[in-house]
Each structure stands twice: as structure tokens, then as C-alpha cells.
Structure 1
Amino acid sequence: MSATTVERKRPSAARLRRRVWYREPRVRRLFVLLATAVVLANVTGAQGVRGDLFAALEENTTSGTLGVWLSLAVAVWLVREFGHDAIGRVTGRVRQEVARPHSGPADLLPAGERGALKAATWLPVVLIRTVRLVTDLLRRVAWLRWSALGGLLAYLIALPLLVSAFWQTVLVDQIGMFVLVAIGLNVVVGWAGMLDLGFIAFFAIGAYSAAYWTGGLPTAPPVELNNFLVIPIAVVTCLIAGVLLGAPTLRLRGDYLAIVTLGFHEIVYLVAQNWTGFTGGPRGAQLDRFSVDLGFWSYEWGLDPRPYYWLQLGFVVVVIFLFLRLEHSRVGRAWTAIREDEVAAAATGVDTVRFKLLAFAIGASTSGIAGVIYASKLGFINSEMFVVLLSVLALSYVVFGGMGSVPGVLLGAALLVWLPEYLRDSVDPQDRYMYLGGLLVLMMIYRPQGLLPSRRRQRELRMAEQGTGGADALGAQPGGAVA
């Protein structure tokens, strides 16, 4: 065989780099959207019956519901993939106009400029410039910033007085509880970069600490304490549990660390379920609610959820204040270095062992507070209230809101807890989380950084998509973005 023939059979470098059509990012995104549409069509359509498992599938396929969902998925895909350039030109023009210096409200859109801009451009320019102006004022003028935060806090304080009793219960039992848990999980996942799938185990430890020290478990404590006095004990207990979890996992990263934390959750769950002599097992345990007795004045929390909401809000405000201070401290910078590159952080003198243990311990402490409040509000706990699904949901809330961003985590947890309850009257209870799953799929495809990402995380994702950095961006393509 001649050298020319061998050269012809040898594939060229361009051919080796060529990507098969079904591996193209556009095709992958289309496949994910179509699969999500099929799932949503069966979720929102007819429900199955025990005698005929395929009756609902056949009805949903032939009734037109599937076609509607598939059409919506294809429409979203077409607009995102092929309308991206046109949308990019408009947004680029908007960014260019927004970047122009402005000095005050009268300079948002000077006379004569409105005619030069297209109708699809000048309105976003005015809105974004207005937002920028307000943001700059809040940053530069301290009393405006504190006034805005005070107004938001006043609204949150008055919120339970503006909603029904059902939503008051949701605010306390679900939103408030998951917000506290998500703030602590954000320390471990968002700041230190350690994947944790068993974070609800610390929540369970806090709840059982409340039950034990108030005399609610079968085993009597050395001394019975008030629920408020149990909170610091539960925090210390969760701190110790966080250190015990972090110590043997210091050399693990990524999926291996996630599996270990998942195993830790299962250990806590099975101990709570099977150690009936101490925890009460599946039968659970009764415990007292919060109460205050100062001699001259006493108050006892009852069935009304509003006092619990205000108590949770107070703890949330204190924890956010402390954690924001912690984020910009030496400890917070060390966590950021570990998340970016643990080897490089250790090479520059960061004590990775110490700071990883601190992340586990400090993050777990907020779950202890949430566990005490949750158990004291319900007056009853058992092992089935701390299943692994809650850990997965808490992690989803952190990722959805924006890892590393405290405002994003608060918004993500509140929004995703509110959504299933909002769909209560129109969607079967077994199907509510399917909508949540579909929303997470769309979010991870088109906005992996989350709703309100931190500036650092947003910059990491942008650099990874451009191929100019080593950040581990979610969904970033090797070698940069591919058209």
C-alpha cells in the first residue's frame, strides 16, 4: 500500500475535532426540553388507575396534551437558539446605552435620544438606568440604604398580618425552616465548595436536642430546660456533629464527599428510627412549646403561628448579619480560596483542615436553631420528618437561588417552597414536585448561576464559558462556548 493511500485513509485533525450532530449543545438542549415536556404532559394530564397502568399514558398521548407541551418546548428552544443573535443585538444596544454616564433622573433619557433609539430599546434603557441610579444611591447614601432595608424588614414583620392562616403556617413550618437551613448549607456548598447531600441530619439533631432537654424523649435528661435555653445547646451539639462529620472527610472532594454526607444522614435517620429507647422511634416524642416566665410577666407560645414566625425572623436577621460579616473576613476569604483550588490554597498557607472543619461546624449551627424552632412549634417529632428528600430540596434551593449569594439563597428557598403550596388547589399533591423539577431543569440549562448569583460565581461561569479560566462552571463546554 502506497504512502499516498495511507495518507488518504488517515483522518484529518479537523475531522477528529468534528462533533457528531447528536452531541451538539443545541441538540442536547432540545432533547432535554422534549423529555421535560413529555414528563409534564403526563403529570398534568389524566392520572393512572391501579387496574390499567397504561390507560393514563394512552389518554395523555392522544388527547392533545402532549402536543401542547411539545410545542411549548420547541418554541422555547427556537427562541433561545435561533433568536439569540437578534436578542443579543438588542441587549447589546441596551448595555451600550446603559453604560453611558448619567448624573440624575433628568439624564435617564435626554431629549432627542428617544427618537434615535428604537422602541424596543429605549424602554429597557430607561428601566435599567433607573435601577442603576437607585442602586448607586443606595450604595453611596448610607441613610437611604438603611431606610430601604428598614422598609423591607418592616414589611416582613407585618407579612403574617396580611396573609391567611394557611399561609402563616406555610411561612413558619416550611419557608422559615428552609431559609435557616439554606443559609447554613450555603456556607458549606456556596462558600467552601463542598457538596453536602445530608444537611438535614443536623436539622434532625437540633430537633431531637430540643426534645431531649425539654423532657420529651423516653430517656430523662439530667435537668429539664426551657426551649430558649436549649437553642445554644443545640447549636453546640450541631457544631460537634459537624466536626465529627468533617474530620474523616477532609481528603474527599466532589462526588465522594457527597456520598459520605449522604451516608451520615442515613446513619442519623436510622438511629432516630430504630433507637426506640432513646428517640421513641417512629412513634415520635412530645415536647413543650416556647414559653417565657420572668416572674412579673410570662408568655407561652400556643397554636398561633405568628409568634413563631417573628421568632424565626429575628434569628434569620441575626444569622444573616453574622454570616455577611463572616463572608468578608479572613475565614470567608479562606473558604473562597479552598473552593477555587484547594491545592493552591494550601500552597499559599491556608490551613485547609481547619477551615473545612469550620465550614461544616458553622453551617450546621443554623440547622440546629431551625430544628429547635420547628420541633417546638409542632410539639411533636418522629424520624419520618427528616427524610433524605429534605436534604435534596435544601440543596436545590441553594443552587436555584445562587450559590454563595445570601440574598439569592433567601429568594430561592422562599420561591421554591412557595411554588408547590401555590399549586396545591390545581395540581395533584403527588405531582407538585414534578413542576419544581421542570423549573430546575430549565434553570440549569439557561441560567446555571442562579436567580441572584454572587459576583464572584457569575464571573467564574462567564470565564469558563469563554474558555479563559479554570472555573468549574455548570454546563460550560470544554474549550469555550460552542455555537
Structure 2
Amino acid sequence: MNYLIHILILIEIYYILATALNLIAGYTGLLSIAQAAFYGVGAYIGALMALNLETPLLANLFCAALLCALFGILLGLPSLRIRDDYFTVATLAFQIIIFNIMNNWVSLTGGPLGIAGIPEPNILGWNLSPSSNFLLFTTLVSGFVLWLIHRLVSSPFGRVLKAIREDELFALSLGKNIAVYKLSIFVLGAGLAGIAGVLYAYYISFIDPFTFTVSESVLILAMVIIGGAGMLLGPIVGATLLIILPELLRFVGLPIAQAAYLRQILYGSLMVGFLILRPQGLAGYNRFGQK
């Protein structure tokens, strides 16, 4: 039962990460490779505040979301003024910079050894250290995120985002400030990734830089592509599939190192396969309106 709860918690954390990237890539057409960087920033903010300031979980979630959103503004303001392909390169550069800061600023982040001993989470006396309690909390958070995204994409704001994705010139001809819309959604995606980072740090109670590499950003992107970019339920499907499939490799009996390489091959193969054979993803619709 504990193993099942562990898998469900990971699915919900990665759902938040994937739906944040889905907002950026699926609804505006921007390809970001920096999602793991915001994820890591949120995790380190949550861990450092919990250890050094002894602030409660809710305060850490708020601060991580706020500071990651600020990082999103700092990255998005200059990057969104350039072409979309250069924007992708800028996010990749940001990802590499953040990883190197986490890996080399030993006095703050612990360097390659990371940060251990993150306190047990609790909210107003409700102890979340039992995995079943933490699962309930992550379900509440991910449920709120799902509701928030549904309201957003169903609103006039969301319809403008879809118009930008389908035909940017048409949206511009309607008098829409495309840069503002793109920046807003990029900042929101960064903030959501920060929330996921705090949840991960509290759940594992240990973080290190190698959890937040470029490979992690690619994994999150794979969840969006396989689930269905621009689809509300796409991140749920993608996160569930790509969390469960690697776990099945545990039962094959491969050495850990070989299993890790095999996971990367699996992610890459699935991404290429879906881009070629089913670009709308598992939760998407084909051109005839059928699933």
C-alpha cells in the first residue's frame, strides 16, 4: 500500500509540473526547457526556509511560487522579445545556469551533496508525514491546480491563448498584446513548478541538484507531448504513464545503471513515436474530431 501511495504522490507532483509546461507549450506554442530549473528553485526555497527560518509549509509554498514567478519575469521579459526558437535556447541556458548554481554554491545549497533533514510537514497541527496524509494534501493541491487551469483556459483569456497558438498574426490583428499574454502564462507556469518543487522537497526530505537537470525538463516535456499538448487532461495522462512505465522496469531485474539508461531511451522513443504517429497525444483529438 505504501508503494502505491508513493507512486500516486509522484504522479500528482509531476502532473503539476506537466500542466505548468502544458500552459506554456500547449496553449501558446512556446517550447520551454527550463521547467526543471523552476522546479529546483522551488524545492531549494522550500527546504532552506523550512530548515533556516522554520516557516510553515503553506508560507513556503507561497514564497516558492512567488520567487519562481519572479524568476519567470526576469527570464521572460527579454526572452519573449526574440523569436520562438531563440526563446527555447534561452530557457535551456537558464536551465544550465540554475543547475550549476545549485551544484556549485556549496554554502547555500550544499553543492552535490544536497540538503538533507528537511522537517516533517504539517499544516495547523495536521501532521503530513504519514504518506497517506501527504497524498491527501497533494491531491488537494493538484485538484486546485486542475480547477484553476480549467477556469483559465475556458475564460476569454484562455481563448486568446489558443488564438496565439493557432495564428499569432491573427491574434495580433485583433489588437491583443501577445507579449503580455505569453509573459503572463510563462510566469504562471514558473510559479506552479515552484509549488511542485516544495511538495517534492517535503515529501522526499532530501534534495540535490541532480534531480533538476536538463533530463528532468525533457521528461516533463515528454509527459506533455505523450499526454496531449493543449489538452486539459493531457498532463494527467502523460504523468501517469511516464511514472508507471519506468517503475515496471524494477521488476525486470536490470542493474540500476542500465535501467537508468533504458528509461532515457524509453522517454525518447515514446516522444518520437507520438510526434510521428499521434502528435495530438493520448488525450487529444485527431483532425476528424475523434480521440
Same fold (TM over 0.5): yes
Residues 232-269 of structure 1: per-residue CA shift (max 9 Å, x gap): 11111111111111101112333322111111111111
Given the alignment, which residue of 114, 117, 127 partners 1:300? Answer: 127
- Give the letter for the 2:46 counterpart: A
Contact 1:201 1:268 (C-alpha < 8 Å) held by counterparts:
yes
How do residues 240-319 of structure 1 correspond to structure 2 at under 5 angstroms?
240-286=70-116, 287-293=118-124, 298-302=125-129, 304-319=130-145
Instruction: Please report how far the alpha carbon of residue 273 of structure 1 lies from its aligned counterpart in structure 2 after TM superposition.
Output: 1.0
Residues 101-133 of structure 1: per-residue CA shift (max 9 Å, x gap): xxxxxxxxxxxxxxxxxxxxxxxxxxxxxxxxx
Residues 326-352 of structure 1: per-residue CA shift (max 9 Å, x gap): 002122122112212223322211111
Aligned partner of 1:171 in structure 2 is 8
> Counterparts of 2:204 and 2:170 in 1: how far apart (Å)?
47
How do residues 305-384 of structure 1 correspond to structure 2 at under 5 angstroms?
305-384=131-210
Instruction: Please report how far the alpha carbon of residue 417 of structure 1 lies from its aligned counterpart in structure 2 after TM superposition.
Output: 1.4
| Superposition misfits of 4+ residues, deviation over 6 angstroms | none
Contact 1:227 1:289 (C-alpha < 8 Å) held by counterparts:
no
Instruction: Please report how far the alpha carbon of residue 403 of structure 1 lies from its aligned counterpart in structure 2 after TM superposition.
Output: 0.5
Which is further off, 395-404 or 333-342?
333-342
Q: Secondary structure at the match of 2:30?
A: coil
- Percent of matched pairs sharing the same residue: 35
Aligned partner of 2:44 in structure 1 is 208
> Counterparts of 1:444 and 1:379 in 2: how far apart (Å)?
36
The count of corresponding residues between Structure 1 and Structure 2 is: 283
Contact 1:401 1:410 (C-alpha < 8 Å) held by counterparts:
yes
Residues 398-419 of structure 1: per-residue CA shift (max 9 Å, x gap): 0111101121221111112111
> Counterparts of 2:111 and 2:249 in 1: how far apart (Å)?
33
Q: Quick check: which one's helix share is greater?
A: 2
Q: Secondary structure at the match of 1:406?
A: coil
Matched, 1:446 2:282: no
Q: Secondary structure at the match of 2:59?
A: helix
Aligned partner of 2:238 in structure 1 is 412
- Give the letter for the 2:283 counterpart: L
> Counterparts of 1:179 and 1:309 in 2: how far apart (Å)?
13
Change (3 A) 1:401 1:285: same
Residues 25-69 of structure 1: per-residue CA shift (max 9 Å, x gap): xxxxxxxxxxxxxxxxxxxxxxxxxxxxxxxxxxxxxxxxxxxxx
Aligned partner of 2:25 in structure 1 is 189
Contact 2:21 2:224 (C-alpha < 8 Å) held by counterparts:
yes
Instruction: Please report how far the alpha carbon of residue 305 of structure 1 lies from its aligned counterpart in structure 2 after TM superposition.
Output: 2.1
TM-score normalised according to structure 1 size: 0.56
Matched, 1:239 2:66: no
- Give the letter for the 1:299 counterpart: W
Contact 1:239 1:364 (C-alpha < 8 Å) held by counterparts:
yes
Instruction: Please report how far the alpha carbon of residue 432 of structure 1 lies from its aligned counterpart in structure 2 after TM superposition.
Output: 3.4
> Counterparts of 1:311 and 1:299 in 2: how far apart (Å)?
10
Residues 271-305 of structure 1: per-residue CA shift (max 9 Å, x gap): 11111122221122232121234xxxx33333x32
Contact 1:206 1:371 (C-alpha < 8 Å) held by counterparts:
yes
- Give the letter for the 2:5 counterpart: Q
Contact 2:13 2:142 (C-alpha < 8 Å) held by counterparts:
no
> Counterparts of 2:253 and 2:204 in 1: how far apart (Å)?
26
- Give the letter for the 1:169 counterpart: H
Q: Choose 1 or 2 for highest CA Rg.
A: 1
Change (3 A) 1:378 1:398: same
TM-score normalised according to structure 2 size: 0.91
> Counterparts of 1:436 and 1:383 in 2: how far apart (Å)?
21
Change (3 A) 1:210 1:168: same
Change (3 A) 1:245 1:434: same
Instruction: Please report how far the alpha carbon of residue 427 of structure 1 lies from its aligned counterpart in structure 2 after TM superposition.
Output: 5.7
> Counterparts of 2:40 and 2:267 in 1: how far apart (Å)?
24
How do residues 134-173 of structure 1 correspond to structure 2 at under 5 angstroms?
164-172=1-9
Instruction: Please report how far the alpha carbon of residue 307 of structure 1 lies from its aligned counterpart in structure 2 after TM superposition.
Output: 1.7
Contact 2:69 2:187 (C-alpha < 8 Å) held by counterparts:
yes
Greater RCO (CA < 8 Å, at least 6 residues apart): 2
- Give the letter for the 1:205 counterpart: V
5+ residue gaps, structure 2, are: none
